[in-house]
Amino acid sequence: MSSEEIATIIPALFEETEINGMTLRNRIVRSANWEGLATTEGACTDQLVAFISRLAEGDIGLIISSFTYVVPGG
């Protein structure tokens, strides 16, 4: 189903909104996930940058980036 088809079913999902002064183009949120694209030390890689860049080019209003750790145990 395309974004346009979804917009006719759930129009509020595609309305602009604001969170704490930050304007979002719609109400679609991509939560933090583990993509497995960082180094074993937790550093960002070119693959992770490319992945997040592709998400940013899509129809997502807010992207909460991947989680990371301070020490390997959490």
pLDDT at 73 over 80: no
**Parallel/antiparallel/unpaired status of strands 17-19 and 22-24:** antiparallel
DSSP string, 18-63: EETTEEESSS-EE-----S-S-TT----HHHHHHHHHHHHTT-SEE
Q: What is the pLDDT of residues 14-65, one digit of tens each?
A: 899 999 999 999 999 999 888 888 888 878 899 999 999 998 998 899 999 8
**Cβ pair 4, 19 in contact under 8 A:** no
Residues shown for the chain = 74
- Residue 3: enclosing H or E segment and its boundaries? helix 3-9
pLDDT score of 19: 94
The pTM is what?
Answer: 0.70
Q: Give domain limits for the chain.
A: 3-63
